[in-house]
Structure 1
Amino acid sequence: MGRFIAGADRSQTTLFPSCVDDWIGADNPVRVVDAFVDALDLGELGFDGVEPAATGRPSYHPSVLLKLYIYGYLNRVQSSRRLEREADRNVELMWLVGRLVPDHKTIADFRRDNGAAIQGVCSRFVLLCRQMGLLAGGSVAIDGSKFKAVNNRDRNFTKAKLERRRQQIEESVARYLSQLDTADRQEPTEILAAKTERLKEKVARLEQEMRRLDGLEAQMLAQPDQQISLTDPDARSMATSGRGTGMVGYNVQIAVDTEHHLIVTHEVTNIGSDRAQISGMAMKAKAVLETDRLDVVADRGYFSGEEILASEQVGVTVTMPKPMTSRAKTAGRFGKEDFVYMPEQDAYRCPAGEQLKNRFQTVERGMTLNRYWTSSCPSCPIKAQCTTSKERRVTRWEHEDVIEAMQKRLDANPDAMRIRRQTVEHPFATLKARMGYTHFLMKTKPRVSTEMALHVLAYNLTRVLNIGGSKAILKAIAT
């Protein structure tokens, strides 16, 4: 006769180990958290309360709360209330914080008041990874991803949103007024009177909402980007990859080592576009890695001639595809890439073999541009394949050679974009999974940056544990 696996009798007397340390294995990650925090100079990092106050109720040492948070983010427990409960029932946390159970308010205040110091702890772990030889390479992949903020889309306003909302209100008011006119032409009854009163209340509420929108518009127009968020004032409406979709949140930038997929550096921004981010992120990664030369791969969303040039000038070699923006190519005509630049003559050779000479120079948006064309276009036999205008003109930036060199690197290394995708998209998926595919818990950019630093620290710690194990990290901390 079959049987099931039986559990222990609840009334059976059990002899637990004599000390909590016996419950924690030698390779348990919680020992790494403990050793890492104990090795930090919390006062130098800027944590409050490193020295106890001479008077008043004794406080918790910041190392206790920092260990609690690192353990929590490592195990997908980010809420201060959940951390309070875990500290009271979790044996690993009992060992880590000495059976202390801080209340959720104390836990939340620590994260709120020590943002810069917590971000410094994240940076210190990256330095530890470099000391372990895990960041010896000089190549990173950079990408950005949108993370939701604690701000509903209905509480974010742009000029277009306000106009749509006003139009909806005007349509509703017109509909209710029409119903009131209809009611006035009918015989009065109690039911009709009640309906009329409800309609008047709805119209009054909509008029009040219209006045509220007028006040919001004044606040919105005072903002540099003419956008306002009511719950999290720093959050911004951003487009996402899906057509017609978007979210109110932050654009998180990360630079990831291409060898071990560790996050070298990160930054939280509220700018929806990636175009102005590549040079800043590259220089931060270069400083962290302490290398003279750095190779960076990114997607076409980062393409900006000025940013690529700024990166090259500080020793960063950028590789990314150039976006195809030519309408000529879309219409089946020759694109700019079909014209060959000849530096000796400072001219372009067109597909028909004619030379397009440098005719004049202009400055647009701070960029010096040269215009090239030839007078042979009207009589060209393949003009219809080239342009619908009188002549085909080619524009060249004064630093176009930087873009051409980047294209040659991409042609010589066609796997660069595959490596980029495999390197930098996986960390974002992991970070969002750890968050539970939900929004940040904190509000405003500085505090969201603190929360993101804890997520990045937990990610990097998990990666290093998978690569070398607890003993390797403990050995590196001890030395």
Structure 2
Amino acid sequence: MAIKLPVFKPYNQQQILALPPSLEELIPATHPVRVVNEVINKLNIEPLLKAYKIRGSSSYHPQMLLKVLVYGYVTNTYSSRKLAAACKESVYLMWLSSMSYPDHNTINRFRGVRLKNALRSVFEDVVKLLAEEGLLSIEEVNTDGTKIEANANKYTFVWKKAIATNKEKMGKQLDEIWQYAQKVASDEDKMPEQPDFTTIDSSKVNATVELLNEKLAGKEGIDKKVKAKLKYVTKHYPLNIVKYEQQEAILKERNSYSKTDPDATFMRMKEDHMKNGQLKPGYNVQISTSNQFIVNYTIHSNPTDTNTLSAHLAQHEASFGKAPQVLIADAGYGSEENYMLLEQKQTTAFVKYGMFDKEQNETHNTKHPFAANKLFYNQEKDCYICPMGQPMDYIGTGTRETSTGFEQTLKRYQARNCANCPLNGACHKSKGNRIIEINENLNRLKQKAHTLLTSEEGIERRKKRCFDVEPTFGNIKQNHGFKRFMLRGEEKVELEWGLVTIAQNLRKKAA
């Protein structure tokens, strides 16, 4: 009886094909690699060619390298070494590179050096092509930000408060030694007028240390502890104050930075795996989207979204010649300065202010019945009416400057007699007569924003924002694993994020 064997398809590694298949035949017609190839073939690469010298040995074509790099970011291959290996292993990259095999140094140098002055132009061209196809709108955008961890050591930090504390200690120590020197100074060798040590700099420290050594060093009868302090001060303070001034120059308006990437600021990361809100060095990434396509992007060292909008809008204008006609954003952007900026640019702003969501809650409205915004305003007499029905008189106008230098104008009103009022203690907590500060311009802008946000169009746009800009960040960070930059320094980080945004837009187009 014959034994039946399983049937297998032919398998012969030495089989010779009369007509070997081409790489073109191996790429499906709807594969994302074809979208990358098609779009980049349409781009103007003239700005990219300027990064190459006319003389010297031949280089890999920048169009090919750009395709390889962008496709790498489309497929979550961010490492230059992995990309170099894939050019020899992946059919798609072989097809894109036309069987060229650039090494990782070539890819890394192209990304970090050649693309430096051209990537923004490449990104803008991609956005314009997508806009021509009707896939996105440059005029109507949703704006939001996220924090992405920097490629920096989280333990090599510098804090502005620590510098201020150390400088204060230095000032106190110098003051103590100076006062001692004044006590022991002879009539013939009197100390000059004591400097102000509340603020110190390198020139003041050096001059003080030199003078103290001149007056005290080598003299008999000087307290041993003072001698020890003077010796320590002489050895360390001139060097330390120079170091602190250099650190302050790097910090500028920031509160912290990492020594391994001085452009990175310590921020709280939502994606922290320890779930304890740990501070890590990172960048605040701002994007504007339309139909989940990224229209504009900027990188900031400032962790607060409020202070990023001005630069973000300026970049939009630089890229496309004008500000967006419509901008939708959450309460993180709802400041007087931002509302004024959008009003000046004639941009319709569907932007929430801080208390907008709470104001929609009836419980909150009954929780604070004596708040300043609940008091009645008599326009004819220019006074507010307190909860007991008594007028609060206008007592003057003042100004206040925000952290960004924006000047706010505040009108002040004071109640006449709170001492015997039965609501005293419930209405306000201050000891004297209640004073309220009213920012009329901000109130006007909030009322304008409230009208827009609660209109039918505003409600629709607010709903759309939630599944437009936020899922874009989610897709990049969760689905494609981009949670930490690989390059260091704001300039290179901006390059890297530019590649991420181009890849996101081409992935979306392919889908």
TM-score range, shorter chain: 0.7 to 0.9
* 1:294 positional shift: 2.4
1:27 matched to 2:30: yes
The separation in 2 between residues aligned to 1:162 and 1:231, in whole angstroms, is 18
Q: Is 1:220 the equivalent of 2:221?
A: no
CA distance in 1, matches of 2:165, 2:29: 61
Q: Secondary structure at the match of 2:305?
A: coil
Q: Distance in 1 between matches of 2:141 and 2:475?
A: 18
User: Would you say 1:237 and 2:279 are equivalent positions?
Assistant: no
Cα deviation for residue 33 of structure 1 reads 1.8
CA contact (8 A) 1:286 1:294 kept: no
Q: Contact (CA 8 Å) 1:158, 1:228: kept in 2 or not?
A: yes
Deviation at 1:372, TM superposition (A): 2.0
Contact 1:320 1:410 in 2 (8 A): yes
For 1:459, the equivalent position in structure 2 comes to: 504
* Secondary structure at the counterpart of residue 35 of structure 1: helix
**Aligned: 1:41 with 2:44:** yes
Q: Structure 1's 439 and 310: CA in aligned 2 closer, same or farther, altered over 3 A?
A: same
Which residue of 276, 283, 303 maps to 1:250?
283
- Counterpart of 1:80? 80
TM-score when normalising by structure 1? 0.76
Shift in Å, 1:424:
1.8
- Partner Cα separation in structure 2 for residue 409 and residue 377 of structure 1: 38
Residue of structure 2 equivalent to 1:191: none
Cα offset for 1:280? 3.3
Match of 1:312 in 2: 343
Q: How far off is 1:88 after superposition?
A: 0.6
| 1:170 corresponding residue in structure 2 | none
Q: 2:336 and 2:32 mapped to 1: Cα distance?
A: 45
Structure 2 partner of 1:297? 328
How far apart, CA to CA, are the structure 2 residues paired with 1:344 and 1:129?
55
Answer with 216-225 or 421-430: which moved more. Answer: 216-225
- Partners of 1:110 and 1:378 lie apart in 2 by 74
Does 1:409 find its partner at 2:487? no
Matches for 1:101-140 after TM superposition, within 5 Å: 101-113=101-113, 114-136=115-137, 138-140=139-141
Structure 2 unmatched runs, 5+: 167-237, 359-363, 402-406
Distance (whole Å) between structure 2 residues aligned to residue 294 and residue 433 of structure 1: 31
How far off is 1:106 after superposition?
A: 0.6
Q: Say if 2:416 is the partner of 1:375.
A: yes
Among candidates 433, 441, 455, match of residue 399 of structure 1? 441
Please identify, of 3-12 and 246-255, the stretch whose mean Cα deviation from structure 2 is larger.
3-12
- The superposition leaves residues 78-99 of structure 1 with CA deviations (integer Å, 9 ceiling, x where unpaired) of 1111111111111111111110
Residue 489 of structure 2 corresponds to residue 444 of structure 1: yes
Which one-letter code corresponds to 1:135 in the other structure? L
Q: Aligned residue for 1:9?
A: 11
Amino acid at match of 2:306: R
Larger CA deviation: 377-386 vs 21-30:
377-386
1:421 deviates by: 2.9
Give, in whole Å, the separation in 2 of the partners of 1:414 and 1:238.
Answer: 32
State which drifts further: 276-285 or 65-74: 276-285
Superposition deviation, residue 240 in structure 1: 3.5
1:190 corresponds to = none
Work out which of the residue numbers 13, 18, 21 in structure 1 matches 2:21. Answer: 18
| 1:435 to partner: Cα distance | 5.5
Q: What is the Cα deviation at residue 356 of structure 1? A: 3.3
- Which protein shows a greater Rg? 2
Following superposition, the deviation at residue 110 of structure 1 comes to 0.4
Structure 1 stretches lacking a partner, 5+ long:
166-210, 467-479
| CA contact 1:338–1:351 (8 Å) conserved in 2 | no
* Counterpart-to-counterpart distance in 1, 2:6 and 2:74: 35
* 1:4 Cα deviation after fit: 11
Does structure 1 retain, via aligned residues, the 8 Å contact 2:298–2:315? no
Give yes or no for contact 1:72–1:78 (8 Å, CA) kept in 2.
Answer: yes
- Whether contact under 8 Å (1:116, 1:450) holds in the other structure is no
2 CA distance for matches of 1:30 and 1:320?
38
Tell me if the contact between 2:350 and 2:449 (Cα under 8 Å) persists in the aligned partners.
yes
**Equivalent residue runs for 1:263-342 within 5 Å:** 263-285=294-316, 294-324=325-355, 334-341=370-377
**CA-based RMSD:** 3.7
Q: Aligned-pair distance for 1:229?
A: 2.2
1:418 CA displacement: 4.3
Distance 1:140 1:129 in 2: 14
> Structure 1 CA distance, aligned partners of 2:374 and 2:243?
51
Q: Which amino acid aligns with 1:402?
A: L
Q: How many residues align?
A: 415
2:392 to 346, 356, 366: 356
Which one of the candidate residues 426, 429, 442 is aligned to 1:385?
426
1:277-315 C-alpha deviation (Å, 9 max, x unpaired): 223324544675667762322222223211211111111
3-state SS, counterpart of residue 385 of structure 1: coil
User: Which string of whole-angstrom CA distances, capped at 9 and with x for unpartnered residues, describes residues 379-432 of structure 1?
Assistant: 544444311333332222242211221133334445655443322221111222
Q: CA deviation at 1:460?
A: 1.1
How many percent of aligned residue pairs carry the same amino acid?
29
Moved more, 392-401 or 124-133: 392-401
Supply the distance in 2 between the matched residues of 1:394 and 1:107 (Cα, whole angstroms).
Answer: 61
Distance 2:6 2:395 in 1: 88
Encode CA deviations 1:215-255: one digit per residue, 9 max, x unaligned.
Answer: 86564244323644222221111133566422101110111
Aligned-residue offset at 1:376: 5.2
Q: Compute the displacement of 1:377 (Å).
A: 4.2
Q: Which amino acid aligns with 1:61?
A: H
Determine the structure 1 residue equivalent to 2:213.
none
Partner of 2:60: 60
* Aligned counterparts, 1:427-442, within 5 A: 427-433=472-478, 436-442=481-487
C-alpha change, 1:66 and 1:137, in structure 2 (3 Å) is: closer
Q: Distance in 2 between matches of 1:465 and 1:348?
A: 60
Query: What residue identity is the alignment partner of 2:384?
Result: Y
Q: Is contact 1:370–1:395 with CA below 8 Å preserved after alignment?
A: yes
One-letter amino acid matched to 2:281? V
Distance of aligned partners of 1:156 and 1:355 in 2 relative to their CA distance in 1, 3 Å threshold:
same
Match for residue 71 of structure 1? 71
Change (3 A) 1:95 1:164: farther
* Equivalent residues of 1:47, 1:62 under 8 A apart: no
Local SS of the residue matching 1:371:
strand
Deviations 1:185-216 (A, max 9, x none): xxxxxxxxxxxxxxxxxxxxxxxxxx999986
CA distance in 2, matches of 1:288, 1:217: 38
